[in-house]
Amino acid sequence: MNSSIGEVPPEWLEEIINLSAERIVVVNRDGIILYINPAYCEFLGTSVQNAIGRHVKDVIDNTRMHLVAETGQAELAAVQPINGSEMIANRFPLIVDGELVGALGTVMFRNPEEWMVYQSKIQSLIKELKYYKRRVEKELKSKYSFADLIGNSPDFLNAKMLAERVAGSRSAVLLTGESGTGKELFAHALHHNSGRAAYPFVPINCASIPEQLLESELFGYEEGAFTGAKKGGKKGLIQTAGNGTMFLDEIGDMPLAMQGKLLRALQEKEIQQVGGQKTIPVDVRVIAATHRNLEEMVKKGQFRQDLYYRLNVIKIDIPPLRKRREDIELLAVNLLKKLEKRFHRRGIEISKELIRRLENHDWPGNIRELENVLERAINVLDGRVLKVAHLPLYLREPYEQAYTVVGGKLREPHGKPQIAPLRTALAETEKSLLLEALAVANGDKLEAAKLLQISKTSFYDKCKNHGIKSNER
């Protein structure tokens, strides 16, 4: 038998129907059965030859097929008693060339038990899908609001008030300031207070993603785009942020080649996946952050001027902690409350002497360094009051006459000796060196790694182990 391309031979159609999972019956306008497949006949306890040509009411108990053939009104997921059980039936009117000619009936589940088995399988999948959906939504939501931005110093309040005014804008925002000043918190708060708050907040650390992977991470890729590409491809972070906010942290570390591709995406509001040909429209708000001087980088040809102007629509400069010393006590108290929850402690106080010492420090690591210092202090605390004795050595030096080291033990005047476990002391020393290297390198993590004579990967791993989050600001 010959058949042209695109046509299914008539004798194939019946076999296709018979192989389908559903039981099928077709009646004309008068309710006479024109077709019924063997699967349905087996269920009914009859044969195809015995059923065809008879009225549907004589073959199927409690049927409504003849009514659908008369009225043209579909009946979906209807429960129908039959053969001492109940089945789930769908009934559709058959309309050919605008004329009602009959009805089609299908039975997907022969009894409620079949439906329950099917439902239990579907429900487990739905629950799993909902779990991952909630997880993704939680991870892609802003975690901080403007209420979490603590401080009363004039410079800080000016930055905070400007951020509150522009939060609802669609324009790009550039957050500048030293490492550890709280730029990421500002980004979270901007998204939280915007009209995009219900949509994703996607942070992207431009320095931590290897250069060779940055394009596929940002734009995504199609299946087979490169060796090892995930089957089915992968959605990029820009597309994931659809209708929401994309936070480009450490934008100054983005390679020049990627800067041009990012600029095009922002200007055209569309992206093209790696290995793909079609363009995908995107609608995201961009918040960028850097501790670098982008204007100087532009002059040196290290950063694209056109991208700089695209990002620098609204610039918010966040002051370092040394320029807002009046906020240190307030910040310390708030950070201590957060640390109490983490360490399951309550009622910890900070001595006035310790507050004065904190206020006299220059804080090259800013708020991040302050939090790390307080965390260290809680780890060695044996009472309920944080004192100068609980600070790292580099913050205790002006007090060494009052707090002396004897036999490897730190003695307070007329007090009991304190000593930290070796593992704690070594970890604290490593953490302090990481922070000091960051401070000397002005937040440049590659430079800090070079100063410590370790690889960039090792540096990021150590920062992660000590809670020094490289994507925090």
Residue-range domains of the chain with CATH? 11-113 (3.30.450.20), 146-319 (3.40.50.300), 323-420 (1.10.8.60), 430-473 (1.10.10)
pTM: 0.59
471 in helix, strand or coil? coil
Question: Which H or E run includes 105?
Answer: strand 99-109
User: What span, in angstroms and rounded, lies between the C-alpha atoms of 418 and 323?
Assistant: 34
Report pLDDT for 402: 41
Low-confidence residues in the chain, pLDDT < 50:
1, 3, 399-417, 470-473
**177 Rama sector, left if φ>0, alpha if ψ -120 to 50, beta otherwise:** left
Q: Is the dihedral of CA 419, 422, 428, 430 positive or negative?
A: positive
Q: Among residues 34, 35, 83, 45, which one has the least CA distance to residue 63? A: 83
Q: Which amino acid is at 431?
A: K
Report pLDDT for 412: 47
Q: Which residue has the tokens 């596929």?
A: 216
Q: Among residues 60, 55, 50, 45, which one has the least CA distance to residue 106? A: 60
Say if residue 431 is exposed, middle or buried (CB neighbours under 10 Å; 0-12, 13-18, 19+).
Answer: buried
Parallel/antiparallel/unpaired status of strands 220-221 and 85-96? unpaired
Report pLDDT for 253: 92
Report pLDDT for 126: 62
Report pLDDT for 21: 55
Report pLDDT for 202: 93
User: What span, in angstroms and rounded, lies between the C-alpha atoms of 233 and 257?
Assistant: 23
Report pLDDT for 407: 40
Q: For residue 80, list its beta bridge partners.
A: 87
75 in helix, strand or coil? strand
Report pLDDT for 190: 96
